[in-house]
């Protein structure tokens, strides 16, 4: 059981972020639950507290530097330190043929996924340094890092590849401060992120390949759970992963090996 350590989780209101926040709280971390929807965060905080944990809701847009600075200031004023950062907030955005994808749609995906990750780390790393080290966990994807067959997912895949590059670049940059940086790359996971996905003209971009039956071998095609990813977050946050940094971990039930 971890005592006295603090974890920031972005996109904490639902899906992987919510599961990660709950799992870390059960391990004894105080949680800074960051997101844009107050009702979701309040529900999460109440659940954590009902299980004997500690959490604080932080309302912020990860792409807004002023909101992020204020949120992390609130976090450190409340808990006095920061040890773990789970940069999870993101969107699927628009998936469309490249000639049909508008600049505004491209920019929106880049802004939330890459600028949001940058700002999360930009504002939190000084506090990790002050704590004498810590762990950064970036939630990327198999798209853009292991597979490239999702029709029209160019913007999304570019951001996920960029997140992995950030993790590996920063693993070297921050190693001297005892800060580890790793990337989790989930495959199909049961979350609400598809609600934020707009797919257009997929027939124009789909690759005409017949895949083996059941595209997630270990589960017979069934998507993984947010809790599966949360267990990995807990491992990468703690001392049992003390010699792991700059590493992508694909958590996809073997899906990426088929795709």
Catalytic residue among 66, 118, 156, 177: 156
Helix (H, G, I), strand (E, B) or coil at 217: helix
**What CATH code would you report for 6-258?**
3.40.50.720
Partner residues linked to 185 by β-bridges: 250
Cα–Cα distance, 10 to 94 (Å, whole number):
21
Query: Residue 190 has what pLDDT?
Result: 77
CA distance 6 to 124: 12
- Please report the pLDDT score of residue 63 as a whole number: 98
Alpha carbons within 13 A on the beta-carbon side of 184: 29
Say whether 156 is catalytic: yes
Rounded to two decimals, what is the model's pTM? 0.91
Torsion sign (Cα): 147, 152, 157, 158 = positive
Chunked in runs of 10, what are the mean pLDDT values of the chain (259 residues)?
A: 90 96 98 98 98 98 98 97 98 94 98 98 98 98 92 96 98 98 91 57 56 61 83 97 97 76
Residue-level pLDDT at 101: 96
Domain residue spans in the chain? Answer: 6-258
Query: Quick one: pLDDT at residue 201?
Result: 55
């Amino acid at each position: 059981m971890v005592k006295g350590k603090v974890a920031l989780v972005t996109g904490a209101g639902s899906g992987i972020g919510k599961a990660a926040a709950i799992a870390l709280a059960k391990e004894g971390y105080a949680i800074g639950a960051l997101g844009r929807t107050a009702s979701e965060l309040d529900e999460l905080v109440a659940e954590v507290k009902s299980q004997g944990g500690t959490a604080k809701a932080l309302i912020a847009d990860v792409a807004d530097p002023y909101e992020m600075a204020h949120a992390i200031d609130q976090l450190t004023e409340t808990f006095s330190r920061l040890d773990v950062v789970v940069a999870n907030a993101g969107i699927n955005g628009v998936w469309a043929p490249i000639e049909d994808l508008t600049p505004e749609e491209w920019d929106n995906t880049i802004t939330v996924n890459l600028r949001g990750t940058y700002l999360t780390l930009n504002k939190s790393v000084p506090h990790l340094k002050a704590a004498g080290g810590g762990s950064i966990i970036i939630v990327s994807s198999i798209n853009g890092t292991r597979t490239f067959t999702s029709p029209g997912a160019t913007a999304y895949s570019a951001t996920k590849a960029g997140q992995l590059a950030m993790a590996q670049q920063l693993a070297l940059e921050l190693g001297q401060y005892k800060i580890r940086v790793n990337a989790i790359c989930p495959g199909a996971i049961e979350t609400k992120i598809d609600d934020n996905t707009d797919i257009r003209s997929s027939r124009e971009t789909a690759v005409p390949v017949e895949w083996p039956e059941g595209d997630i071998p270990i589960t017979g095609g069934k998507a993984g759970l947010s809790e599966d990813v949360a267990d990995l977050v807990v491992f990468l946050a703690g001392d049992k992963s003390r010699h792991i940094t700059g590493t992508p971990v694909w958590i996809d039930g073997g899906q990426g090996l088929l795709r």
